[in-house]
């Protein structure tokens, strides 16, 4: 671009300054195509790309590959939003690993299910047809569990209710290896113990 002015001789100082500003703005090398690509977008601009792609849940503390994967999966999640596959896709993009989602309608039943009033659910009481549970196969801390709850709230159907998050393959031991609580521990679960003296 040339530095020759196209303004008339009687232009004001403000007009000449604006011309210089605009000329210099065109000299900035802005990779517009890269800004819209989650794989090539600079790291400092990823949160703006996430906003533009309508990512529902974003955490600035995520590692870079997780941020890029979340943006990449955004369109697919929105296409299927409110379905089981969108929940699994969003959890996979947020690097929660192998996650199982159990729906209340998938619980085992007794009796003939084709007749109204002739079937009973096994297990938990007070289960509603829209309840679901999530089982995470890798260790997560309380902060990650809170993020998981917020993420599920953005992709799960509005009428569904999260009942519990269970962390698999972890064994909590209290004391000197005296009380093993088991391998499927629900977050926020309470454990009652009875101690007899004498």
Beta bridge partners of 186: 166
CA atoms within 13 A on the CB side of 169: 8
Residue 71's pLDDT is 94
The overall longest dimension of the chain from CA atoms, in Å, is 106
Q: Across the chain, how many H-helices and E-strands are there?
A: 6, 8
Alpha helices in the chain (DSSP H): 13-27, 32-35, 46-52, 64-79, 84-93, 142-155
CA dist 41 and 44 (Å) reads 8
Which two structure tokens, joined as six digits, stand for 181? 């609580």
Q: What is the pTM of this model?
A: 0.57
CA distances, 15 to each of 2, 7, 28, 186 (Å): 17, 8, 21, 67
Q: By the 8 A CB rule, do 161 and 133 touch?
A: no
Q: What residues contact residue 31 under an 8 Å CB cut-off, 6+ apart?
A: 40
Q: Where are the domains of the chain?
A: 12-79, 81-188
CA dist 98 and 2 (Å) reads 58
How far separated are the first and last CA of the chain, in Å rounded? Answer: 94
Helix, strand, or coil (residue 45): helix
**What does the pLDDT profile of the chain (198 residues) look like in tens digits?**
567 888 888 999 999 999 999 888 888 777 788 889 999 999 999 999 999 999 988 989 889 999 999 999 888 888 888 888 888 888 888 888 778 888 887 776 655 555 555 555 555 567 778 888 888 887 777 788 888 888 888 888 888 888 888 877 655 555 555 554 555 555 555 444 444 444
194: alpha, beta or left? (left if phi > 0; alpha if psi -120 to 50)? beta
CA dist 128 and 85 (Å) reads 21
Which 8-state DSSP code applies to residue 137? Answer: S
Residue 92's pLDDT is 83
SS3 content of the chain, % helix, strand, coil (to 5): 35, 15, 50
């Amino acid at each position: 671009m040339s530095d020759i002015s196209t303004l008339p001789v009687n232009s004001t100082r403000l007009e000449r300054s604006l011309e210089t500003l605009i000329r210099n703005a065109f000299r900035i090398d802005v990779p517009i195509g890269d800004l819209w690509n989650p794989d090539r977008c600079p790291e400092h601009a990823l949160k703006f790309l996430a906003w533009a792609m309508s990512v529902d849940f974003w955490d600035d503390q995520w590692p870079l590959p997780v941020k890029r994967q979340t943006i990449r999966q955004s369109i697919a999640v929105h296409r299927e939003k409110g379905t089981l596959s969108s929940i699994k896709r969003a959890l996979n993009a947020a690097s929660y690993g192998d996650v199982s989602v159990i729906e209340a309608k998938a619980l085992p039943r007794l009796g003939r299910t084709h007749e109204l009033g002739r079937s009973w659910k096994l297990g938990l009481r007070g289960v509603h047809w829209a309840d679901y549970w999530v089982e995470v196969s890798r260790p997560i801390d309380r902060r990650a569990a809170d993020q998981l709850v917020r993420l599920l709230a953005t992709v799960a159907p509005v009428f569904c209710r999260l009942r519990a998050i269970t962390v698999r393959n972890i064994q909590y031991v209290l004391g000197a290896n005296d009380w093993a609580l088991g391998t499927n521990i629900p977050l926020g679960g309470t454990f009652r113990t009875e101690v007899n003296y004498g």
